[in-house]
Amino acid sequence: MKALVLTAPSEFNFDTQFPDPTPAAGEVLVKVAACGICGSDIHGMDGRSGRRQMPIVMGHEAAGEIIGLGEGVQGWSLGDRVTFDSTEYCGECDECQSGFVNLCPNRKVLGVSPGEYRRHGCFAEKIALPTRILYRIPDELSYEKAAFAEPVSIALHAVNLADGIEVGEAFTQAAEEEDCGSKECGHDCHCEGEEAKGGTAVVVGAGLIGLLVVQALKARGWEKVIAVDLDDGRLELARKLGADEVFNAKQEGLAMHIRKICDGDGADASFEVVGAGAPLDLAIRSVRKGGQVVLIGNLQPNTPFPLQEVVTRQLTIKGSCSCAGEYPEAIRRIQDGSIQVEPLLSAVAPLEEGAGWFKRLYDNKEGLLKVVLQPA
């Protein structure tokens, strides 16, 4: 089959004879119709992250059609249109049984090779997947839009973590009997969320995930959402997608200004979507006493930390890792438009042109957000 293989730091080979995967028992074979280039792929392609050890077929934001069934597969048929979790989890450990599939000690992320495992991903014509991570997509939803289910789920998961604010719970788990669309789901699915009853939030970083977090917050009923970035073009897009106010991070005294316009003490919650020192500092200093800071960005392994600000204002800091059952809501919101993905889609291109698009995204000179590659 055809596959785009990362063979050396920032070097790709479009292989037309890459070995075809074979579905094992309990797995299906999916023909990949669309796969988005993730920011983690861009950060990992030069080898610095250590999570894309070569050779590796990257790609985990994908959708396609089932073209093969492994032994014992039930509830799925040839021709089913699906998207799937970016993480293969075991489904049996304590974390999985508790619904924290994103924290499974046996998890493998599609398209990642950190050393202890190598799991080829979706920049290829086909991929074999366990049925437990599959989700159906409606016939009317394009594969290109369905490929956004993974990043939308990440945004929803982060918003789910901002709970316990005085204005009302931002999220409650769905009833266990709710059908999440996955035929083998055994955990408490986060299929639907309860809307927040007000609340103010700051989103630091208006890249793709940040723009999805802005929309997820508004879709959940947060009253006021403030977006911060260094790029005025992305801030304008954030405003179009629902941000009530936007600020350039270069603005002098920005943290104090945000506190002032949020009832004088700060926002109820902030979401850091960069993963660097200055954005983290701003996210922490922008919330009220007793507020919450949700960390999504993962660019730098270590950053300075304003310890006294956290301690003296009794802030809650939460890390947000991947997603854990938000796919059904993500698919629904993409379909009904409550989270818009089309404004974020910069280009759709054939897989054989992937190396060029990776370079353009890596160079970061064109303001590209999401590029989706089509293997077929």
Token output for 324: 């854990």
Extract the tokens encoding 133. Answer: 């991570």
Q: For the chain, how many residues are written?
A: 376
User: What number is the average pLDDT over the span 15-42?
Assistant: 97
DSSP reduced 3-state for 58: coil
Gap between the Cα atoms of 105 and 261, Å rounded: 43
Go through the domains of the chain in sequence order and give each one's CATH number: 3-148+341-374 (3.90.180.10), 155-319 (3.40.50.720)
- Does residue 28 carry a pLDDT above 70? yes
Q: What is the largest CA-CA distance in the chain?
A: 62
| C-alpha distances out from residue 314 to 107, 209, 289, Å | 33, 27, 6
Percentage of the chain beyond pLDDT 90 is: 88
Predicted confidence at residue 179, as pLDDT, reads 46
Is residue 189 within 8 Å of 328, Cβ to Cβ? yes
Contact (Cβ atoms closer than 8 angstroms) between residue 202 and residue 267: yes
> Is the model more confident about 191 or about 150?
150
pLDDT tens digit string along 116-154? 999 999 999 999 999 999 999 999 999 999 999 999 999
Q: What is the pLDDT of residue 197?
A: 52
Q: Model confidence over 341-374: pLDDT tens digits? A: 999 999 999 999 999 999 999 999 999 999 999 9
If one compares 271 and 173, the residue with the highest pLDDT of the two is: 271
328 cis-preceded (ω within 30 degrees of 0): no
Q: Which of 157-171, 172-186, 273-287 has the highest mean pLDDT?
A: 273-287
pLDDT in tens, 296-355: 998 888 999 999 999 999 999 999 999 999 999 999 999 999 999 999 999 999 999 999
pLDDT digits 0-9 by tens, 205-230: 999 999 999 999 999 999 999 999 99
Using DSSP, how many helices (H) and how many strands (E) does the chain show? 11, 17
Q: Is the dihedral of CA 148, 150, 154, 157 positive or negative?
A: positive
Once rounded to an integer, what is the mean pLDDT over residues 251-258?
97
The pLDDT assigned to 50 comes to: 87
pLDDT tens digits, residue range 53-111? 999 999 999 999 999 999 999 999 999 999 999 999 999 999 999 999 999 999 999 99
Task: State the pLDDT at residue 49.
Answer: 84
Q: 199 near 168, Cβ under 8 Å?
A: yes
- DSSP strand pairing (287-295 vs 81-84): unpaired
